[in-house]
Amino acid sequence: MKLQCEKKQHWPKLAWVCVVEQGSETARLFHGPMVEISDLWAVEGVWNRSFADGDFDKTDLVFGSGVRVRPEGIYFVSSATGMDRLWFAHDESQLYVSNTLPGLLNIAGLSLLDDYAFYSEDLVTVQTKGLNSHVPSIPSSGPELHVVYYDNLFYDGTALKKVSKQTDLPDLSNYGAYKTFMRHAAELIGENATSKQRAFPVEMLVGLSTGYDSVATAVVAKFAGCQKASSIENSSSFWRGSDSGEKIAPHLGLECRLCRHEPKHYRHEVAVWAGVGRPGGRNLTVLDFPKPLCLFFSGGYGDVVWDRNVDTVQELKGGVNEMMGEFRLIEGVFNCVVPWWGIQRVNQIKAIGRMAEMAPWTLHNDYDRPVARRLIEEAGVPRGLFAQRKKDTSSNSPLWWPATAAARSSLNRYLQKSAVPASSHQKVTLYSMASFVLNLAYKNTVKRIGIKKWWRPWLTFPGRKHLFVWANHTLRDEYYGKD
Span 109-134, pLDDT tens digits: 999 999 999 999 999 999 999 999 99
Return the pLDDT at 185: 99
Return the pLDDT at 457: 65
The arithmetic mean of pLDDT across residues 363-392, rounded, is 91
- What are the DSSP calls for 241-282, one per residue? -B-B-TTTHHHHT-EEEEE---GGG-SSHHHHHHHHSSSTTG
Return the pLDDT at 354: 96
In the predicted model, is pLDDT for residue 139 greater than 70?
yes
In the predicted model, is pLDDT for residue 242 greater than 60?
yes
Architecture of domain 175-385: 3-Layer(aba) Sandwich (3.40)
Return the pLDDT at 376: 98
Q: Which of 213, 206, 227, 325 is nearest to 276 (CA)?
A: 325
The answer to whether 372 and 196 have CB atoms below 8 angstroms apart is no
Q: Is 175-385 the same fold as 2-163?
A: no
Return the pLDDT at 71: 96
In the chain, % of residues over pLDDT 90: 78
Q: In angstroms, rounded to a whole number, what is the distance separating the alpha carbons of residues 161 and 74?
A: 11
Cis (ω within 30 of 0) for the bond into 292?
yes
Q: In angstroms, rounded to a whole number, what is the distance separating the alpha carbons of residues 69 and 83?
A: 25
Q: In angstroms, rounded to a whole number, what is the distance separating the alpha carbons of residues 256 and 140?
A: 44
pTM: 0.93
Q: pLDDT higher for 449 or 11?
A: 11
Return the pLDDT at 271: 97
In the predicted model, is pLDDT for residue 239 greater than 70?
no
The answer to whether 273 and 468 have CB atoms below 8 angstroms apart is yes
What CATH code is assigned to 2-163? 3.60.20
Q: In angstroms, rounded to a whole number, what is the distance separating the alpha carbons of residues 373 and 388?
A: 12
Least confident of 48-57, 119-128, 318-327: 318-327
Question: How confident is the model over 144-200, as pLDDT tens digits?
Answer: 999 999 999 999 999 999 999 999 999 999 999 999 999 999 999 999 999 999 999
The answer to whether 306 and 348 have CB atoms below 8 angstroms apart is no
Confidence of residue 205 (pLDDT cuts 50, 70, 90): very high
Question: Domains of the chain: which residue ranges?
Answer: 2-163, 175-385, 405-480
The neighbouring-strand residues paired with 483 are none
Question: How confident is the model over 448-477, as pLDDT tens digits?
Answer: 777 766 656 666 677 889 999 999 999 999
